Amino acid sequence: MADTFNLVILGSGPGGYVAAIRAAQLGLKTAIIERERLGGICLNWGCIPTKALLRTSEIYHYMQHAADYGLSADNVGFDLTKVVERSRKVAGQLNMGVKGLMKKNKVTVFEGTGTITAAGKVTVTQGDKTSDLEAKHIIIATGARARDLPFAKADGARILTYRHAMVPTEMPTKLLVIGSGAIGVEFASFYNDMGADVTIVEMLPRILPVEDEEVSAFMDKALTKQGITLRTATGLEALDATAKGVTAKIKGKDGKVTSEEFSHVIVAIGIVPNTENIGLEALGIETERGHIKVDGYARTNVGGIYAIGDVTGAPWLAHKASHEGVVCVEAIAGLNPHPFEKWNIPGCTYSRPQVASVGMTEAKAKEAGHELKVGKFPFIGNGKAIALGEAEGFVKTVFDAKTGELLGAHMVGAEVTELIQGYVIARQLETTEAELMETIFAHPTLSEMMHESVLGAYGRAIHI
Ligand SMILES: Cc1cc2nc3c(=O)[nH]c(=O)nc-3n(C[C@H](O)[C@H](O)[C@H](O)COP(=O)(O)OP(=O)(O)OC[C@H]3O[C@@H](n4cnc5c(N)ncnc54)[C@H](O)[C@@H]3O)c2cc1C
């Protein structure tokens, strides 16, 4: 006989497991199915293990510049196996944490692959064992995987996806990173700081193409100064891997194709949603450019079936997946939540320097017809930044000149990924420039730059 639940969730990433906890809080009898590891890509193969690696490369960088702080650190080096071990241990700890949370919230966990066989029915398969589940509500939270190049599949030895790049068995000497989104730039930053010779190729005219143009330009200069070779408006024509390395055929800005040798290549050109073999076709669940089509409550076109997270489309971010999950479950429980909207989702890149943003870029705000007030404050004007030895970067704010609405905020520099949330909250509370200007910011903090940027938009910055 089938096990019966109020809600069954396929996939336990930050979309699925957060939805499961919220559902349990709301009294729904909930089951979650996971074919790999609890916590999904985010904490096993994405957000968290990469941040553990980037922490290592950041400390390594500081150790090499110890003299700048009056310290001495001789013979600084690293053991790659131990660097990877630490990152895996951090991922493992969080995976155990999610296991604990499932238990605490009495969510039933099924190990295996879930397939929706009919509305309200799911089969879990693991090896030759199957279990049948029934639930009025089913959430698809199956996430996504790395996109391969059409002409060169990742082999894990020379041509790497993010999964391989996170557990290197040898240090690349000459690394080519294809794609300059957050994932590409983070890996480039990590390997460059660890001593590899890194080149990024980007098809579009600028790196981090979704960020504000001034941020892209700043990052271009900063990464170039660190020794990374950046080649924008540049395409990759072919990759030929051998036991010793990879030959890349690269088409430059001038249209000329050159052959270049690298020890390794990381392909960071986006993701493919996991929509296969979960029963979409048989049920007639609609997709749009490969992603499952949903409304603001994560409802698909088929009653009782919902989808959240990477499988539903951009932005492919953990916090977007979790938020969609919470809204979806609250709507199922009849709580009448605000429908999910994309206007206030922060985006962060944890490279050195870091990048963080929310809302519209200056160009997008202009395009949308706003008359603007723009403020920009540099790290060099901030006492804490100078004390930290981190005087590189800026904070930019974009306001609607007529209403004072904070349309967007864009930051580059040390710890901006922690700062951005201040603006996200301000936007959520529909604050205007007036309240932000009146707010008292602690001194000395990097956050004072957030104040100064707002003051600057209205010609009132103090320290510049
Ligand atoms: C290298 C890297 C770094 C990243 N860094 C960040 C970051 O710093 N910040 C950020 O916000 N985002 C980051 N992301 C993106 C983030 O990891 C994803 O947006 C997030 O994991 C999506 O969550 P999800 O729940 O939709 O899916 P996932 O986390 O992909 O989880 C889906 C789960 O479903 C399981 N599954 C799939 N099909 C089935 C099935 N049929 N039955 C059972 N289980 C199934 C999978 O095994 C997987 O565990 C990063 C991604 C990568 C690759």
**Unique residue bearing structure tokens 């790196």:** 207
Report yes or no: 408 and 398 within 8 Å, Cβ to Cβ: yes
Closest by Cα among 432, 423, 424 to 403: 432
Compute the distance between CA of residue 44 and CA of residue 12 in angstroms, rounded to an integer. 11
Phi-psi region of 293 (alpha: psi -120 to 50; beta: other; left: phi over 0): beta
165 SS3 class: helix
Q: Which ligand 1 atom sits closest to the C-alpha of 12?
A: 33
CA of 141 to the centre of ligand 1 (A): 9
Residue among 10, 47, 189 whose CB has most ligand 1 atoms within 8 A, to mutate = 47
CA of 42 to the centre of ligand 1 (A): 5
Question: Which residues, including other chains, have CB under 8 Å from residue 60's CB and lie 6 or more apart?
Answer: 76, 78, 193, 194
Compute the distance between CA of residue 428 and CA of residue 320 in angstroms, rounded to an integer. 15
Residue 289 CB burial class (10 angstroms; 0-12, 13-18, ≥19) = exposed
Main-chain dihedrals φ then ψ at residue 119, nearest 5 degrees: -55, 130
Report yes or no: 177 and 246 within 8 Å, Cβ to Cβ: no
Residue whose Cα lies nearest atom 1 of ligand 1: it is: 46
Amino acid at 276: E
CB atoms within 10 A of CB 290: 12
pLDDT 10s digits, 328-342 = 999 999 999 999 999
The list of the chain residues with pLDDT below 50 reads none
CB atoms within 10 A of CB 209: 15
Looking at residue 458, its pLDDT comes to 98
Q: Does residue 61 have an active-site annotation?
A: no
Annotated catalytic residue, options 65, 323, 443, 463: 443
Tokens of 240: 């030929």
Tokens of 313: 């489309």
Residue whose Cα lies nearest atom 13 of ligand 1: it is: 47
Please name each of the domains of the chain with its CATH number: 3-145+272-332 (3.50.50.60), 159-269 (3.50.50.60), 353-457 (3.30.390.30)
Looking at residue 1, its pLDDT comes to 75
Report yes or no: 175 and 196 within 8 Å, Cβ to Cβ: yes
Question: Which residues, including other chains, have CB under 8 Å from residue 166's CB and lie 6 or more apart?
Answer: 45, 49, 50, 53, 84, 87
Looking at residue 2, its pLDDT comes to 82
Tell whether ligand 1 has an atom less than 6 A from the beta carbon of residue 8. Answer: no
pTM over 0.75: yes
**Unique residue bearing structure tokens 């970067």:** 393
Q: Which ligand 1 atom sits closest to the C-alpha of 40?
A: 49
Residue whose Cα lies nearest atom 34 of ligand 1: it is: 11
Angle 16-25/80-104 helices, nearest 10 degrees?
A: 30
